[in-house]
Amino acid sequence: MTLKAVERLQEADIILFDELSATPALAHAGAGAELLSVGKRAGKPSPRQDHVSRLLVDYAQNGLKTVRLKSGDCSVFGRLEEEQTVLRQHGIDYEVVPGVSSATAAAAAIGIPLTRRLSARRVQFITGHDVTGRLPDDVNLAAIADPAATTVVFMGKRTFSKLADMLLGAGMTPDTPTCLVESVSLPEQKIVWATLGSMTSRIAAETGDGPVVILLGPLATGNWGDSS
């Protein structure tokens, strides 16, 4: 979190937080702040997005200093625009305070850069599921298989087996370095080093129910070259 984010939490009358942000971050809330969980998790009962947006409008129109706390960075697969649109429609001013994306946090945790001159010229973020929870139908396999790109897969634990099969079918090599980080930056953080060909079995055997990001590409290797 940035210092500005901490300040906004301390000033807030009410904080609407995601389940993944129900961490020590909430310890920065002011003593009188109301905390309201509006989190979404795949496969679990979750509040509808239109309900969350309506709450933001209602609290703001009642003069309350309202914070919408999201995990990571709200602009990366965080449904930020949907909430911005509703606020604009109701003439409500707002401020976006950027956070640290789980992609950059994961790279820092495993000690790699996301880019490197000559060998990893591009970094791309993709989602591992669509609104139905399935792997999107329009995955750009050629872009992911680009040997000069680092790919970070968000929310892809349950669909990674299918994605891996599709990438292998598209010509990506089974020994492509692959790293999974579960519950990144939290005390229970877990790192799994593998390859594209072996990661599916490692996910089944070694991960829990925490959120994960999966990194693919030339830099996603442990010990700078050992991807075992």
Q: Supply 24's token pair.
A: 């020590």
Q: Is residue 223 part of a domain?
A: no
Is 201 found in the same domain as 144? yes
Is 108 found in the same domain as 68? no
Question: pLDDT by residue (tens digit) across 183-192?
Answer: 998 889 999 9
Quote the Cα angle for 167-196-149, to 5°. 70
Is 212 found in the same domain as 115? yes
Q: Is residue 73 part of a domain?
A: yes
Q: Is residue 74 part of a domain?
A: yes
Specify whether the CB–CB gap between 53 and 81 falls below 8 A: no
Indicate the pairing of strand 66-69 with strand 212-216. Answer: unpaired
* CA–CA gap between residue 195 and residue 211 (Å, rounded): 20
Q: Pick from 89, 120, 137: which residue ends a domain?
A: 89
Q: Is residue 222 part of a domain?
A: no
Number of domains the chain is built from: 2
Is 194 found in the same domain as 149? yes
Which range among 15-19, 42-46, 182-186, 220-224 shows the weakest confidence by mean pLDDT?
42-46
Is 146 found in the same domain as 41? no
Where do runs of H (alpha helix) occur along 149-193? Answer: 160-169
Q: What are phi and psi of 42, to 5 degrees?
A: -60, 130
Q: Is the pLDDT of residue 218 over 60?
A: yes
Domain holding 35, by residue range, is 3-89
Is 111 found in the same domain as 66? no
* CA–CA gap between residue 150 and residue 141 (Å, rounded): 13
Q: What are phi and psi of 130, to 5 degrees?
A: -100, -165
DSSP H or E segment with residue 102: helix 102-110
Q: Is residue 95 part of a domain?
A: no
Percent of the chain with pLDDT over 70: 93
Q: Supply 29's token pair.
A: 């809330």
Give the chain's radius of gyration (CA, Å): 19
Q: Supply 83's token pair.
A: 């909430």
Known catalytic residues are 18, 40
Specify whether the CB–CB gap between 195 and 134 falls below 8 A: no
Is 118 found in the same domain as 28? no
Residues ≥6 apart with Cβ < 8 Å to 132:
none
Question: pLDDT by residue (tens digit) across 147-180?
Answer: 999 999 999 999 999 999 999 999 999 999 999 9
* CA–CA gap between residue 206 and residue 194 (Å, rounded): 11
Is 115 found in the same domain as 23? no
Q: Is residue 64 part of a domain?
A: yes
Q: Is residue 14 part of a domain?
A: yes
Counts for the chain of helices (H) and strands (E), in that order: 7, 8
Q: Pick from 89, 123, 140: which residue ends a domain?
A: 89
What's the pLDDT score for residue 227? Answer: 38
* CA–CA gap between residue 39 and residue 51 (Å, rounded): 12
Q: Is the pLDDT of residue 40 over 70?
A: no
Is 211 found in the same domain as 115? yes
Q: What are phi and psi of 142, to 5 degrees?
A: -65, -40
Is 133 found in the same domain as 55? no
Question: pLDDT by residue (tens digit) across 99-141?
Answer: 999 999 999 999 999 999 888 899 999 999 988 889 999 999 9
Q: Pick from 58, 89, 120: which residue ends a domain?
A: 89
Question: pLDDT by residue (tens digit) across 62-83?
Answer: 999 999 999 899 999 989 999 9
Is 113 found in the same domain as 209? yes
For residue 22, give the CATH number of its domain.
3.40.1010.10
For residue 126, give the CATH number of its domain.
3.30.950.10
Residues ≥6 apart with Cβ < 8 Å to 187:
none
Is 145 found in the same domain as 108? yes
Q: Is residue 21 part of a domain?
A: yes
